[in-house]
Amino acid sequence: MNGDSHYFRIEKPFMRRMKGEAGDPLIENFTRVETFGDPFNHWVEVTVDASDPNVFAFRQRMVPANLLKGK
């Protein structure tokens, strides 16, 4: 998990292949979460369920005081 001036996103970065490459994904079971960065200071709730094939579930949590009013 990482974040500073990033935008919130969840992705599987090692599933990508460069153009022209073939074969299996590099790492299937790796998920990257970039948290909200400055000035969007919110948080992410993570639920772990070993019985779920995805294992992790993510839910964005907005802090009302940090919302950009009128924008």
How far apart CA 29 and CA 57 sit, in angstroms, is 14
For the chain, 71 residues long, give each residue's pLDDT as a single digit of tens: 555 677 889 988 887 666 666 666 678 788 889 888 877 788 999 999 999 988 999 999 999 988 877 55
Domain edges within the chain: 9-66
DSSP the chain: -B-SS---EEE-GGG---TT--SS-S-TT--EEEPP-TT---EEEEEE-TTSTT-EEEEEE--GGGS-TT-
Q: What is the pLDDT of residue 46?
A: 95
Q: What is the pLDDT of residue 70?
A: 59
Whether 32 contacts 7, CB under 8 Å: no
